Amino acid sequence: MSTPPTPSTPPTPSTPPTPSALPSPVESFTSPHKVDYTFVAGTGRSAFLRGLQERRLLARRCPTCERVYLPAPEFCSRCLAELSEPFELAGTGVVKTFCVVNFPFPGQMIDPPYLVAYIQVDGADTTLMHLVRDVEPADVHIGLRVEPVWCAEEDLDTSMNSIRYYRPVAGGSDA
Amino acid sequence: MRDIAVVAFAQSPGTSADRRDDMAEILLPVMREALGSAGIDRTEVDFWASGSHDFHEGRTFAYIESLDAVGAWPPISESHVEMDAAWAAYEAWSWLQLGEGEIAVVYGVGRGSLATDLDQVTTTQLDPYFLAPLRPHQDALAALQAQALVAAGMLDEKQMAEVVVRARAAGMGEPGAQVSGEVTVDELLAAPYLASPLREHDRGPIGDAAAVLVLAAGDTARRLAGRPAWVRGADHRMDTHYPGTRDLTRVDTVTLAAAKAADQAGFAAREVQIAELHTEYSYQEPLLTNALELSGATVNPGGGPLVARPTTATGLIRIGAAAQHILSGRADRTLAHATSGPALQQNMICLLEGDR
């Protein structure tokens, strides 16, 4: 939509530049950047990650507020107190919330559809995100009791990948 | 202008690479020390401001990890600058000037060691058309400025070596120093070039550290510190993004920032007793001292960034060190300088003063 000229509009130049008089602008070029890093997990997270290599879920409790962190940092993020020595949890837990991922995206490791959930491991006050498998998505609901499925011995690592996924507890009832 | 002062400062020991601690773990002991020396707990803090850089950490929103050392959940008034925490200190100072609160805590976490090669990171801050594709490393950009100064007869390599000799001697016994010791000018001049006229020792060693500064206003500052370090004036200016359009032998942004800070403070840079300068390279010290006309002042009495450069905490440490001289009674008037960008592109000047 063009606006009609008003009386106050200044006169247009007698020789306006035509679009063809301007060189075409450079619209793109490639300048890739690559940066390599060392990731320092810290002492708190390292305790949790080392536990995963031994099929153990290691939690830590705040001595002040009793909150149990899994995974645990070094300090309680509320009280700023140093957390207790790591202790092991059985690993079973409850689905606190979940969604089904239906769309593909670059870098995706798993073929959709698949189900990701926040799992509150028994004894912890925080939740872990992981896959829930061996179950029809329609049968997953908040409150479903689940257990971890650990990877093979030779694949154990200081990584969340040591747990392949969670699945409903066999014959278990809802929380 | 409201009276705003630094009432406490603490920093972690300087390390070339901390492979044990995450950001919160580096920061928390320093936070405890700073709040402890101010005699406050975190519930009394009205505003938090921090500085660090995702590109140094290799993760998005990396700074939120450091908030675990602050206790960040509502209600908290909190801000972050994606650069040296000296600029977070300026933000906190401005926030207090607006009368929004009485106590602000500023912290910087520098993790210079996480990038395998920090030059891969620093090229990303250059202009994307003419410089970034060439991948000039930091030392090359600094060397261009140093060479321009040498060619203009404003500097020679012996002078640069003398700066390093003094810095390394001053760093002895300083917990924040990564390098220190007795060296001679002749030894230094025998070392090979890194990017002429610069040698390895002419650049501050990159490392990891955290620093925390507590700022307070008026009577609160007087209550929290025996001798508050009043920030009488502060200003920062930046030069053009493309160094090729600058006369590299001049740092007009330093001169201008210093003049603006002096207008606020009522005294000039040349009147301070101690100056803490953000000299990432040795050649920068004579350039800055000339621009600031610092004929009588002691410069970087603890060695400065030439003995430790924890990236995004380095500038904040300059402000903290300048304040510490006043808090401890060593000086009445001090200056802090912070820089960012290639070849002193951005510069901040703070003028501090103690009650006499």
Does the pLDDT value for residue A145 go beyond 90? yes
- Interface ipTM: 0.86
Chain A nearest C-alpha distance from B183 (Å): 33
As a whole number, mean pLDDT of residues B177-188 equals 97
Q: pLDDT band for A170, please (50, 70, 90 cuts).
A: confident
The answer to whether the Cβ–Cβ distance between A78 and B123 falls below 8 Å is no
The answer to whether the Cβ–Cβ distance between B73 and A37 falls below 8 Å is no
Q: How many CB pairs under 8 A join A and B?
A: 77
As a whole number, mean pLDDT of residues B160-176 equals 97
CA B103/CA B341 separation, integer angstroms: 30
Task: Tell which of A80, A82, A83 to mutate to test the B interface (max B CBs under 10 Å).
Answer: A80
CA angle, residues B254, B255, B261, in degrees to nearest 5? 85
B-chain CB neighbours of A80 within 8 Å are 28, 42, 69, 71
A-chain CB neighbours of B136 within 8 Å are none
Which pLDDT does position A17 carry in this prediction?
58
Contact B30, B58 (CB under 8 A): no
Contact B51, B84 (CB under 8 A): yes
Which pLDDT does position A3 carry in this prediction?
47
Query: Is the Cβ of A155 closer than 8 Å to some Cβ of chain B?
Result: no
pLDDT digits (tens, 9 = 90+) for B329-338: 999 999 999 9
Nearest residue to B321 via CA among B35, B49, B14, B9:
B9
Which pLDDT does position A77 carry in this prediction?
87
As a whole number, mean pLDDT of residues B53-73 equals 89
Q: pLDDT band for A10, please (50, 70, 90 cuts).
A: low
The answer to whether the Cβ–Cβ distance between B22 and A36 falls below 8 Å is no
Interface of B with A (CB under 8 A): 18-25, 28, 42, 55, 57-59, 67-69, 71-73, 111, 113-117, 120-121, 123-124, 128, 132-133
Which pLDDT does position A1 carry in this prediction?
40
- Distance from the first to the final alpha carbon of chain A: 63
Query: Tokens for B96?
Result: 């207090």
Q: 10 Å Cβ neighbour count for B227?
A: 16
Collapse the DSSP code of B339 into the 3-class scheme (helix H, G, I; strand E, B; otherwise coil) and give the result. Answer: strand
Task: Tell which of A40, A49, A69 to mutate to test the B interface (max B CBs under 10 Å).
Answer: A40
Radius of gyration of chain B (CA): 19
The answer to whether the Cβ–Cβ distance between A42 and B58 falls below 8 Å is no
Which pLDDT does position B317 carry in this prediction?
98
Does the pLDDT value for residue A2 go beyond 50? no
Q: Are strands B47-51 and B78-81 parallel, antiparallel or unpaired?
A: parallel
As a whole number, mean pLDDT of residues A69-90 equals 94
As a whole number, mean pLDDT of residues B270-291 equals 98
Q: pLDDT band for A174, please (50, 70, 90 cuts).
A: low
Q: pLDDT band for A21, please (50, 70, 90 cuts).
A: confident
Query: Tokens for B155?
Result: 């500097």
A-chain CB neighbours of B132 within 8 Å are 31, 33
In 3-state terms chain A splits into helix, strand, coil percentages (rounded to 5) of: 15, 25, 60
B-chain CB neighbours of A74 within 8 Å are 22, 24-25, 28
Q: pLDDT band for A30, please (50, 70, 90 cuts).
A: confident
Return the percentage of chain A with pLDDT > 70, whole number. Answer: 86
